[in-house]
Structure 1
Amino acid sequence: MESLEALLTAPGAPFAVVRGEDGRLAYAEGPRTLREFAETTWAFGSTPFLISETGRMTYGEFFAAASALARRFLDAEDAGGYGLRPGDRAVIAMRNHPEWQVAFWAAQLAGLVAVPLNAWWTADEFAYALDDCRPGVLLVDGERYERIAAWREGAPEKAPWVLVFHEEGRDVAGARVERYGELPAADPLLGPPDVDVAPDADATILYTSGTTGRPKGAVATHHAHMGAIANPRYFAALSALARGLVPGQGPAPVGLLTFPFFHVAAFTGFYGAMAAGGTLVLLRKWDTDKALAAIRQHGVAAFGGVPATALQLLDRAEELGDPLPTLTGFNTGGAAAPPQIVGRLTARHGERIEPRNGYGLTETLGGVTANFGAQYRSWPESVGKPAPAVEVRIAGPGGEPLPDGEVGELWLRGQSLIRGYWEDPAATEAAFTADGWFRTGDLAVLAEGRISVVDRIKDMVIRGGENVYCVEVEGCLHGHPDVLEAAVVGVPHPVLGEEVAAVVRSRPGSGLDERTLREFAALSLAAFKVPARVLVQEAELPRNATGKVLKREVRLRFEPGRPGHPDGDLGRPDGDLGRSRDAASGE
């Protein structure tokens, strides 16, 4: 593998890197801005780009529509446009409609700063972000229009323009409000407006998930996004070479992308597809049977989704006896991947379907490491090696590099990292060192260049002075055949400080109980790591729209008086397995 990596990264090779004046590594070649990258897609012409439940859009149609909308953004208001200027913010809030991509890339072609917002936020959450970024235009679907209408009416300054997609019969009339379906047809011969976009200009503001507090606006330049585009292309090329193939040859890939477009895991997916002229199949919302039908109908070769949906897909395919004959790639992201995924894929499909996972954050604009194929099967608990333009450090308490095998905070530095947080210098200074290293907040270990993420620093349980990594315990629980999901947290203990607790979603009808799970965990975990409290339920675990388990809500399940709270002995230092309690109802 190392010789293949050198083949791709040697001087003059497609993924050669250079060190910039700021000390960061960056790719030596490639487009400089998202505008330049979007302009290359016109060459794919009549190739399908997006296939949804309501139709399909070719690359040619996509580029013409994005170009026309970009012109409308910049045209003066008295000429029928919105009178925006490069650098103004364009908020995008809608489901995974094909028009989401039109809106995002129109902003890039016009030199605006795209601000994709979480489509499942409440009106109050939208209001917070809108007050923070102060947009010049809102690009929303009918569902989201209802949630931003009150904010817009009470905006302290002149209300921004609103363009509504898929209004579906809703009343969206008003001053400075337009319906996308009523705009003039795009002229494919016009192209985008004439705008000079610099590589160091801001391209996006991506709000963090806010699982630990108020979301922060992560600001990324065009130069950073070019790194984010090159990273998946590099991993795809390395994967092809490892399988004896020539990168870039063969049919254009067809993928089922289930991540919400506003999430950086989706950026990794659609950037990779657009770079290769690939086709993306979309679902209006996650439905396992519809996903399997789409895979069959469109000959999907690559699946991309969070681990929860990936496991549901595998479960349903096994129930139906569906061999998934067209799939050759199975990608998970957005949350830690249980080791059982790669084992199940290999047991049922051999090496025909290549498993892949990786590591990325909002602040890295998507995946910056990848683990795939034979490497993944050999090291299923790893997130792989970093991309060429990414440096890794496992840092001790004082920021000093730790040797291989020692657990420390994962620090990253490279091209695809954000420049900081929107109008929040204190948060930026807390997250970045003076020489550009980003403190991820994740605990990790490095061995032979491979990274294994152990836990979030804030999620680690300190039980009687012993460190317990939640990811390790979750991985163990996932190994039980009747466990569909597991979330491990630390809860207060009067003697130990913290105790290990778990909420587990069981296979319906399995009869799984706490004692069985604790005995199973004790087979492979030290006694102090075995959860002292376990709630078993058939209901799904609470997750945000990006698939991350909401640990705050999980912890609340263990507060006295809460439904399903396990009464009685709250855990003993000796790890005794003799206690038995009723399983939670999950209601």
Structure 2
Amino acid sequence: MADNAAKWPAMTIEEAHAFLTAPGSPFEMETVDIRGNKIRTYKNTPPSLRAIFDLGRAWGEREFIVYEDERLTYESHYRAATAFGRVLSEKYGVKKGDRVALIMRNFPEWSIVFWAVAAIGGVIVPLNAWGTGPELEYGVSDSGSKVLIVDHERLDRIRPHLKALGLDGLVAVRTPADELGVAEAFETLVAKPQDYAKLPDDTLPDPGVHPDDDATIFYTSGTTGKPKGALGTQRNICTNLMNALLGGARAFMRRGEIPPAPDPAAPPRITLLSVPLFHVTGCHSILVSTYAGGGKLIIIHKWNPEKALELIERERVTAFGGVPAMVWQVLESPDFQTRDTSSVESIGYGGAPSAPDLVARIKQQFPKVQPSNGYGLTETSAITTQNLSEDYIAKPDSAGPAVPVCDIKVVDEKGNELPRGQVGELWIRGPNIVKGYWNKPEATAAAITEGGWFHSGDLVRIDDEGFAYILDRAKDMLIRGGENIYCVEVEDALYAHPAVMDAAVVAIPHKVLGEEVGAVVQVAPGKQVSEEELRAHVGKLLAAFKVPIKIELRHEPLPRNPNGKILKTVLREDMKKYEGYRAA
């Protein structure tokens, strides 16, 4: 790489993409009809998750998942997933297209359940494990899931809502027998982890899954306060696998080097999983990519930068990241200098705003690492743009250019495309765009319009090289450590308190998390309320990460424009004074 540094970039982005997608190459493209639109796809994209699942068995006794003292090989994982697939189909009657909900922290069983559902052609519905009981009930009910798989903590949370759900099956993982209630133990239905290798050596019947069949429903917060289920297809998620592979190959091309051929005998990529699997980053970009490539996944029970450094040293982790907050915490950990991090080769992140100086800090503390950033949404099945290696160092404030199968454009309020360099809303088209929102045709029609263009709601500009710069969100949303929080949802919770006359939720900048939740409230005349009381009130209605860390109480009206809309731009400036504030 050093020999080529002086001549970088050796070719343009367009030239690199043209070479990588040329006829006969692994990333060769073709045009197919997807829901009435002519869309570019990778010709060699795996046809389904089932196909990836079956191919993954070839890794045999190679370690796949490490969780605390548990070590799970590919063969044992395959047998456990196959066994649970039979339970789902034979005991609970799950057929191709049926939904199965999954709510648990990052346990090895999360992967087993995911691949079991995929193998029988079911639709996996991963719900946010941080959600409250009512939030989880909504996701299970709205998706029409037949079976629900939970861990001990989520079982307690969903227990009061079970009668309303009418499930055909409820399975609990790692739950004491005397606390199962009506749930059945995963370990009884399948086996204990140490006995997976003894399970039958067989395969599941082929469910006949096609590329555009339903595969996943990931819920994303809605501006009405109710989440929307983004319905992903087999093609969506499998395309993301190809996009992830292409990024690294493009970096070689930009240096003037030919990407090395895959070597099954090479040491595996060892990834520290630091983000939830119930997000598309954790599921699509990490779990599926790791499984397909024969890598090893190191699961951390609960995120902690000191524990992360311990695992990096112990397991010789080669890749980690997640959201920028986690990278910052590792870099600034007091344990950093005492841990051996020399195994790390790549650090990648996305899902939240990142400061440009993060790249410099990474290069300072990980000299041999090539950092990467990217942009994507639940509705784009993760990756849409990628910025990595020298490109990212050269343009640390950009999310990178679009992958070859994606078209992106910037439009004005009327949908007219704007020239390069101008700011507008980002529209995206490609084989990674979800079908729409589950059972919400009006929301789907508003988000995905003629030609298959998805309206991201993000304000961007694109430079002459095609690099996208994410500037702001047209949608009223903030992102805290990778978690999307729609302001209206928190505002509705505040309005539910009798002392609140008016409310506005805005972001408070945070160096590590990107943004924290802040609120400005006008107290109703004659009423009294404390900030602590309001925070407790919101905490009863919403997940803890959505509770404002600071609520500023006012007795005068909030600033509004002539049309009566709250001037959040003014309030955002006001709330910047709380940067670094910590709630009592």
Q: Paired residue for 1:140?
A: 150
Matched, 1:257 2:279: no
Q: Provide the secondary structure at the position in 1 that maps to 2:92.
A: coil
Identify which of 263, 269, 274 aligns with 2:291: 274
Paired letter, 1:234: L
Q: How far apart are the structure 2 equivalents of 1:5 and 1:318?
A: 41
Cα deviation code 1:380-400 (max 9, x no counterpart): 010011111111111112111
Distance 2:294 2:338 in 1: 32
Kept after mapping to 2: 8 A contact 1:237/1:247: no
- Report if the CA contact (8 A) 1:61-1:188 is conserved: no
2-structure distance, mates of 1:94, 1:202: 22
1:369 deviates by 1.2
The corresponding residue for 1:154 is 164
Structure-2 separation of matches of 1:61 and 1:584 = 47
- Counterpart code for 1:246: P
Structure 2 residue 346 is the aligned partner of structure 1 residue 329: yes
Counterpart CA distance in 2 for 1:349 and 1:58 is 30
Q: Tell me the equivalent position of 1:56.
A: 71
What amino acid is the match of 1:401?
E
Structure 1 residue 435: Cα displacement: 1.2
Q: Does 1:364 align with 2:380?
A: yes
Which residues in structure 2 correspond to 1:125-524 (within 5 Å)? 125-155=135-165, 157=166, 159-168=167-176, 171-174=179-182, 177-181=184-188, 183=190, 187-210=199-222, 213-242=225-254, 244=257, 246-249=260-263, 250-266=266-282, 267-316=284-333, 320-322=337-339, 324-350=341-367, 352-447=368-463, 448-458=465-475, 503=508
Q: Contact (CA 8 Å) 2:429, 2:453: kept in 1 or not? A: yes
**Contact 1:232 1:367 (C-alpha < 8 Å) held by counterparts:** yes
SS at match of 2:153: helix
Q: In the alignment, is residue 108 of structure 1 matched against residue 118 of structure 2?
A: yes
| Contact 1:142/1:170 (8 A) holds in 2 | no
C-alpha contact (below 8 Å) 2:306/2:335 kept by paired residues? no
1:68 pairs, out of 66, 69, 83, with 83
Paired amino acid for 1:332: Y
* C-alpha distance in structure 2 between counterparts of 1:586 and 1:386, whole Å: 39
Displacement of 1:211 after TM fit?
Answer: 7.5
Q: Does 1:82 align with 2:92?
A: yes
| TM-score, scaled to structure 2 | 0.78
SS at match of 1:191: coil
Higher relative contact order (CA 8 A, sep 6+): 2
Q: CA contact under 8 A between 2:510 and 2:579: conserved in structure 1? A: no
C-alpha displacement of 1:169: 5.5
Cα 1:549–1:388 shift into 2, 3 Å:
farther
For structure 2, the residue ranges without an aligned partner over 5 or more in a row are 1-10, 489-502, 513-537, 557-566
Tell me: CA distance 1:506–1:255, structure 2 relative to 1, closer, same or farther (3 Å): closer
Please tell me whether the aligned partners of residues 163 and 180 of structure 1 are also in contact (alpha carbons under 8 angstroms).
no
The alpha-carbon deviation at position 414 of structure 1 amounts to 0.4
One-letter identity of the residue aligned with 2:60:
G
Structure 1 residues 398-454: Cα deviation after superposition (integer angstroms, max 9, x where no partner):
111111100010000001110000010000011011210000000011111111111
Corresponding residue number in structure 2 for 1:39: 54
Could you tell me which runs of 5 or more consecutive residues in structure 1 were left unpaired when the two chains were aligned.
Answer: 76-80, 461-469, 475-486, 491-497, 508-541, 563-569
| Comparing 401-410 and 228-237, the one that deviates more | 228-237
How has the CA–CA distance of structure 1 residues 298 and 319 changed in structure 2, closer, same or farther, with 3 Å as cutoff?
Answer: closer
Percent identity of equivalent pairs: 34
Q: CA deviation at 1:304?
A: 2.2
RMSD across aligned positions (CA): 3.6
Q: Among residues 537, 547, 554, which one is paired with 1:560 in the alignment?
A: 554
Structure 1 residue 5, shift from structure 2 partner = 2.7
Deviation per residue, 1:502-547 (Å, 9 max, x gap): 735589xxxxxxxxxxxxxxxxxxxxxxxxxxxxxxxxxx99xxx9
Amino acid at match of 1:503: I
Kept in 1, the 8 Å contact 2:509–2:579? The answer is no
Residue 133 of structure 1 and its aligned partner are, at CA, apart by 1.1
Aligned 8 A contact 1:240 1:247 in 2? no
**TM-score normalised over the length of structure 1:** 0.78
Q: Which amino acid aligns with 1:227?
A: T
1:127/1:341 CA distance change after superposition, 3 Å: same
Moved >6 Å (runs of 4+)? 498-502, 570-573, 580-583
Q: Which amino acid aligns with 2:251?
A: S
Deviation at 1:248, TM superposition (A): 2.3
Deviating more after overlay: 389-398 vs 186-195? 186-195
Give the 3 Å change call, closer, same or farther, for CA 211–310 of structure 1 in structure 2: farther
In the alignment of these two chains, the number of paired residues is: 501
